[in-house]
Amino acid sequence: VKVFLQENYLANWIQALFNSLPPEDFKNGVLVLGGDGRYFNKEAAQIIIKIAAGNGVGKILVGRDGILSTPAVSAVIRKQKANGGFIMSASHNPGGPEYDWGIKFNYSSGQPAPESITDKIYGNTLSISEIKTAAIPDVDLSRHGVTEYGSFSVEVIDPVADYLELMKAVFDFPLIKSLLSRSDFRFIFDAMHAVTGAYAKPIFVDALGANP
């Protein structure tokens, strides 16, 4: 976290990423933004939004409160046919002001950017000469809806919806629900301080009928 809190450190990386991509991969396009809710994510989201706007991105889809799990970002990218997405996460490393923070970029396929791009990003961080940022106010990420700034817009979305739809297509939810409704079956879910805690009630309780 302390490294990313250095002046323009994160902004440098974000601009270097845009400098590494072909303009057609993001100009007037749609990008997804979310993360695991750890320390510094909310501040980082505002930085990323403003630099995306400054580089000509057309729209950013942001999970409510900046929340989107890593597989959920991939699901939203594919479902919404986005050009790519930012994941604010340091994986299983501990969060907090004295611990870790990280950022990743996924392509339009929902997969992580290939090494050829990440190497290019690193190279550009060493030679960057300007950061293109838009002079727009911070966006309220706590409410669903669209905020427009000329040709650029930010849409705050349900962090669970597209991921849940994908899960329903992959797994037999009626069969799982029948198991959870049995009187002789009980289970415990431990999110282990992870972003999955935000998905537990919508999936296990609301969609599958588990008794909280």
Q: Where are the domains of the chain?
A: 9-159, 171-207
Over residues 26-38, the pLDDT tens digits come to 999 999 999 999 9
* Closest to 54 in 3D by CA, of 126, 131, 120: 131
pTM of the model: 0.92
Q: Is residue 46 within 8 Å of residue 138, measured between CB atoms?
A: yes
Q: In terms of CATH, what superfamily is 9-159?
A: Alpha-D-Glucose-1,6-Bisphosphate, subunit A, domain 3 (3.40.120.10)
CA–CA gap between residue 163 and residue 74 (Å, rounded) = 9
94 pLDDT exceeds 80? no
Mean pLDDT of 196-209: 94
Q: Is 183 a catalytic residue?
A: no
Amino acid in position 13: W
Q: What pLDDT, on a 0 to 100 scale, did the predictor assign at position 39? A: 86
CA–CA gap between residue 155 and residue 207 (Å, rounded) = 25
Mean pLDDT of 95-109: 91
Catalytic residue selected from 91, 109, 142, 181: 91
Q: Is residue 84 within 8 Å of residue 93, measured between CB atoms?
A: no
Write the CB contacts of 18 (distance below 8 Å, at least 6 apart in sequence).
26, 51, 52, 55, 132
Tell me if residue 163 falls in helix, strand or coil: helix
CA–CA gap between residue 188 and residue 186 (Å, rounded) = 7
Mean pLDDT of 153-169: 97
User: HEC profile for 93-148?
Assistant: CCCCCCCCCCEEEEECCCCECCHHHHHHHHHHHCCCCCCCCCCCCCCCCCCCEEEE
Count each helix (H run) and each strand (E run) in the chain, helices first.
Answer: 7, 6
